[in-house]
Chain A
């Protein structure tokens, strides 16, 4: 049991100070901008909640939000089952395990702009490996700078390439923590593969899968650099996800008020959905 000790706050103070410095001060700046209008020169006018109303009613925001949800939904329904399947088919011990894990983790350690640039040169229609293969060997007309569908397939594939390993690593960690005795018992009972998965492996992976899904949700919902470098949000606005749109408004047009209001709405949505995921996935534990 943990003991009650208010002095523990002293241990937490450095963390609190550093994170608060980074989180609270910028957040206050954003709140401050979100209720004001500026024409430059540090002159601000009170604007109230106008920006929030404007953003919430604008089609541009609805479209970007819709694309963002579609993107996150797609990568979650591909990466989570795929990651579990790969983790299940990995050997549980042996020489090759660490080699596999290192190779699988490699994409996660590449700077995000390099990931975008790498996929860009990989998919160039005439000189990229994938682009050349699709266009000249398979004869499929593939050009993601022209075709929105191709652009979508490319950014989703890129994300699957980039992050499925996180689900694999976490699921695998859950799997290796299952004692051999469980499997032997299941064998004696004559349990099918599905039953072993459903009643032994899945429950053991639940904690790590919750973490994996939460991390994948937060990170994919906030994704910016990779699709920006790969497609620049195009063709047209077809791959302009929320963050890309936000940066366009904030730094491209320098509309600080609307950008700040949009940031806060964006953050609130991320928080809300994360909280929903968290509550839904830990619901059974509470009962």
Chain B
């Protein structure tokens, strides 16, 4: 057992190295970075972080990203819940075909959709709003949420539903008061994956926004090209993008793998 644990330790070290380098760089001045190699910051500075927290174009990038990711997570999970219930409890005309069609939307390369998405959301007047990005990310998040939730719901015995109806619960009341609490781990896992895939996606988020809803990732690419090569600043911005994900993952650490293990293929 002791010898075997070498493998995960080495693997985690390998994962942490590039992250360490990013964090180390964020505490260096750009001059120090360009001057040469140093394993630790020689002149430790918080200047890069200071710039980000005081410049609205920077910190609004984070607020924008968190806003559209949150809207997307809420929409995706809210509409996926009843759909997953239907798939897990009932047979209906075209159910299997519909389920597969939903999954195919995860296969569409975002690059394929970038331009049509821009035209679609401009046409309906949503261009450069948080809602536009949130709705666009539903394309790949809703199928995933349905997939995960359906797996969790399959694990809940049908007797639960029947007992509740005998007890005189109406369907909406049963669903909200009894059923959702019974699969709250599944809701957590689905929400986590929606958050994750919406947070990391850039191509659509960038295509659908200009100024008002510009995501942090797009702010970073703009800065990289316009303000010269400010590596320290970019590293600090990059470091800050890791934090929301790390916080969210800590909450679902015990369920994260279970979501897929229970799902069907």
Q: Is the CB of B202 within 8 A of A282?
A: no
| A56 interfacial by beta-carbon distance below 8 Å | no
Using known A-B contacts A30-B116, A105-B256, determine if residue A11 contacts B86 with beta carbons closer than 8 Å: yes
Q: Is the CB of A106 within 8 A of B242?
A: yes
Using known A-B contacts A100-B12, A113-B221, determine if residue A6 contacts B92 with beta carbons closer than 8 Å: yes
Give chain B's interface secondary structure class. Answer: helix
Since A23-B108, A117-B234 are in contact, a sample of 11 more A-B pairs with Cβ atoms closer than 8 Å, ordered by chain A residue number, is A2-B90, A6-B93, A12-B98, A14-B83, A109-B199, A109-B245, A109-B246, A111-B199, A164-B11, A270-B108, A274-B107
Give chain A's interface secondary structure class. Answer: helix
| A127 interfacial by beta-carbon distance below 8 Å | yes
Contact of B220 among A108, A113, A224 (CB under 8 A): A113
| B183 interfacial by beta-carbon distance below 8 Å | no
Using known A-B contacts A106-B242, A109-B242, A173-B258, determine if residue A18 contacts B135 with beta carbons closer than 8 Å: yes
Contacts of B248 in A (CB 8 A): 109
For A20-47 the 0/1 string (1 means CB < 8 A from B) is: 0111011101100000000000000000
CB proximity to B under 8 Å, residues A1-22: 2-9, 11-12, 14-16, 18-19, 21-22
Contacts of A5 in B (CB 8 A): 90-92
**A to B contact number (C-beta, < 8 Å):** 273
Contacts of B156 in A (CB 8 A): none
For B136-154 the 0/1 string (1 means CB < 8 A from A) is: 1011001100100000000
| A276 interfacial by beta-carbon distance below 8 Å | no
Contacts of A132 in B (CB 8 A): 37
CB proximity to A under 8 Å, residues B79-115: 79-80, 82-83, 85-93, 95, 98, 102, 104-115
Q: Is the CB of A15 within 8 A of B142?
A: yes
Q: Is the CB of B15 within 8 A of A161?
A: yes
The 10 A-B residue pairs whose C-beta atoms are closest, nearest first, are A109-B245, A26-B116, A173-B257, A173-B261, A11-B86, A8-B90, A8-B86, A29-B116, A222-B109, A11-B82
A86 to B13, CA, bound (A): 13
Of B19-27, B41-49, B50-58, the one contacting chain A is B19-27
Which residues of A does B touch, CB under 8 Å?
2-9, 11-12, 14-16, 18-19, 21-23, 25-27, 29-30, 85-86, 89-91, 98, 100-114, 117-119, 121-122, 126-130, 132, 136, 161, 164-165, 168-170, 172-174, 176-177, 207-208, 210-211, 214-215, 218, 221-222, 224-225, 229, 242-243, 246-247, 250-251, 256, 259, 263, 266-267, 270-271, 274, 278, 281-282
CB proximity to A under 8 Å, residues B186-223: 196, 199-203, 216-217, 220-221
Contacts of A7 in B (CB 8 A): 92
Q: Is the CB of A224 within 8 A of B109?
A: yes
| B180 interfacial by beta-carbon distance below 8 Å | no
Contacts of A266 in B (CB 8 A): 109, 112
CB distance from B261 to the nearest CB of A (A): 4
Contacts of B119 in A (CB 8 A): 29
Q: Is the CB of B107 within 8 A of A117?
A: no
CB proximity to A under 8 Å, residues B115-169: 115-117, 119-120, 135-136, 138-139, 142-143, 146
| B176 interfacial by beta-carbon distance below 8 Å | no
Q: Is the CB of A246 within 8 A of B112?
A: yes
Contact of B265 among A15, A110, A207, A221 (CB under 8 A): A207
A104 to B246, CA, bound (A): 11
Q: Which B residue's beta carbon lies closest to that of A25?
A: B120
Q: Which A residue's beta carbon lies closest to that of B6?
A: A89
19 A-B residue pairs with Cβ-Cβ distance under 8 Å, sorted by A, are A2-B88, A2-B90, A5-B91, A12-B98, A19-B105, A26-B116, A29-B116, A89-B5, A104-B12, A109-B196, A111-B217, A113-B220, A121-B25, A126-B37, A129-B39, A169-B260, A222-B110, A247-B114, A251-B114
